[in-house]
Amino acid sequence: MHSRNSGRRPLNEGPASHALLVAAHGERTVAADNRALMRLAAALRERRLAHEVALGFIKGTPSIGQSVQALAADNVIIYPVFMSDGYFTRTRLPQLLREALGRESKRRFQMLPPLGLEPGLSHLIARRLLATARERALAPEQTNVILLAHGSTKDPASRAAAEQIVDSVRRQALFRSVGLALLEEAPDLAEAACTMAGALIVFGLFAGEGLHGAQDAPRLVGQLGRADAIFAGTVTRLEGLEELMAAAIAKAIRSAQLHQDRER
């Protein structure tokens, strides 16, 4: 007799009874790749937070469906590596999960808030900005900062999440000024930078090494034509990101296990 899990790989030993799916947008282009996300998923796997850890992409390989089908656990925690609770996390990702689930009725999915809404993310960003300033012998209190996000003319979620991070970094009172620039909305980077005299650090609020983070952001910084403008990277390269995500995942798994225990 074949079990319902026939065709999926068996559970690995681990301290938790749930599987973890790290879900991301992903890239298929030659000029960008998913290596940073793969390293992040591997680091989470090494922490043994769950019996299984899989990485799935909306665009790219493995797909969300392939990763879900490769998991044996009935309980799956999903961590969306996205910068806002926009179309992909609200609509497209749930749709792909339903398609992967098919007729299975026993599997449970719990989706966590996206990476961009993590309360501690702004502190990791500020730490990177401080390190960048010091590497260039810049006094942080005399240095301007712009956080560059995607934005969207169709969905306010991207801008709202970015504004929240900007406000949090600004409240830390570490830099001369902290502003926001967007790719698909105003202000663009040139507009945001034109009123900032003095050294400028630009950081990309992009969850991956896709075209926006790998090409668009550095290109736009270069187009400013300022020798004092520095690009400081993107979110998935932040030191401490793995720990931030692991804490949220471990908390979710503990809560789910407690809930299951009460149901028994």
Lowest mean pLDDT among 4-13, 45-54, 235-244: 4-13
**What pLDDT does 124 receive?**
98
Q: Which fold would CATH assign to domain 117-237? A: Rossmann fold (3.40.50)
With 50 as the cut, is the pLDDT of residue 27 above it? yes
The token pair that represents 199 in the structure block: 């050294």
164-184 exposure pattern, b = at least 16 Cβ within 10 A, e = fewer: bbbebbbeeebbbebbbbbbe
The token pair that represents 84 in the structure block: 């806002």
pLDDT tens-place string over residues 90-140: 999 999 999 988 877 678 899 999 999 999 999 999 999 999 999 999 999
Q: Cα(first)–Cα(last) distance of the chain, in Å?
A: 27
Q: Residue 52 in contact with residue 22, Cβ under 8 Å?
A: no
Q: Residue 112 in contact with residue 238, Cβ under 8 Å?
A: no
Ordered by start, the domain boundaries in the chain are 19-116+240-263, 117-237
pTM above 0.85, yes or no: yes
CB atoms closer than 10 angstroms to residue 42: 13
CATH code reported for the domain at 19-116+240-263: 3.40.50.1400
Residues 173-196, mean pLDDT to the nearest whole number:
97
Nearest-angstrom CA–CA distance, 45 and 36: 14
* Local structure of residue 218 (DSSP, 8 states): H
Residue 179: closest CA among 152, 167, 71, 242: 167
With 70 as the cut, is the pLDDT of residue 57 above it? yes
Q: What is the mean pLDDT of the chain?
A: 89
The token pair that represents 217 in the structure block: 């952001």
With 70 as the cut, is the pLDDT of residue 203 above it? yes
One DSSP character per residue, 160-185 reads HHHHHHHHHHHHTT-SSEEEEEESSS
Instruction: Compare 254 and 23 and report the one with higher pLDDT.
Output: 23
